[in-house]
Structure 1
Amino acid sequence: MKRFVKFLVLAPVAVVIVLLAVANRAPVQLSFDPFSRTEPALAVTVPFFVVIFAAVILGVLVGGIAAWLAQGKHRKAEKRYRREADRWRSEAEQLRGTTGRAALPKA
């Protein structure tokens, strides 16, 4: 089921990406010089869909990093809870072992 839902979401996205790439093949000049509009010091001519895809990829990366950083406190709390649960589990096992031996009749 999970695989089907993934396909159901990714198939239309893939179609839109292909259509976007085909529709935006015209070259554009990407300038990295904010001071000169006519003769930029550093400029690259690329198809427009490359600019769009690069912006989307950069946005996904920045958003993913921001989400990862924002969830740091939750990961830290989860690690602390896991350590505490392990400590309680080992203490329970230890108490079961000592209680079981103490309850046996002496021979």
Structure 2
Amino acid sequence: MKKWFYRLIWIPVLVVAVLFLVANRMPVAISLDPFNADNPAMSTAALPLWFWLMAMLFTGVGLGALGMWLSGGERRSQARDNRRELKAAKKELAAMTARAEAAEKSAAAPAGEPENPHEPPKLEATNL
């Protein structure tokens, strides 16, 4: 339902936009001087209207994306810090688990008996 509603709205908007851009192909100079319309001090080259409209659209999208990226900098920094902290915690947990297993293993096997009952006891040299 949502997909059909999306298409119902945006397809006609896109068709009207394309028709507008194709119908307005005459060169237009954009003037940035509001006081002298006949001989503007600041104006652009005469280019088709569709070029100026698309340039403004892409500029707006680019500036919006840049603003979103800049506003998310603090969250990205926090995510990097959290990732590093998690990695260090996982390493520490693995080391502690290995030490606990080694301690359990040494506590479970009595000192005088071999770890493997099928193995003969190891002889140790002693000084007399």
The aligned residue for residue 40 of structure 2 is 40
The aligned residue for residue 83 of structure 1 is 84
SS at match of 1:100: helix
Give, as a single letter, the amino acid of the residue that structure 2 aligns with 1:62: L
Residue 38 (structure 2) pairs with residue 49 (structure 1): no
The unaligned stretches of length 5 or more in structure 1 are none
User: How far has the Cα of 1:33 moved from its partner?
Assistant: 4.8
Identity in percent: 31
User: How far has the Cα of 1:80 moved from its partner?
Assistant: 1.0
The structure whose Rg is larger is 2
Residue 98 (structure 2) pairs with residue 97 (structure 1): yes
1: CA distance between counterparts of 2:80 and 2:20? 44
What value does the CA root-mean-square deviation take over the aligned residues? 2.5
The aligned residue for residue 26 of structure 1 is 26
The aligned residue for residue 120 of structure 2 is none
Give, as a single letter, the amino acid of the residue that structure 1 aligns with 2:97: R
Give, as a single letter, the amino acid of the residue that structure 2 aligns with 1:31: S
Between 1:92-101 and 1:28-37, the stretch displaced more is 28-37
Larger helix share, 1 or 2: 1
Tell me which of the two structures has the higher relative contact order, counting C-alpha pairs closer than 8 angstroms and 6 or more residues apart: 1
Q: Which runs of 4+ in 1 moved over 6 A?
A: none
Between 1:27-36 and 1:78-87, the stretch displaced more is 27-36
- TM-score, normalised by the number of residues in structure 1: 0.75
Between 1:42-51 and 1:68-77, the stretch displaced more is 42-51
The unaligned stretches of length 5 or more in structure 2 are 115-128
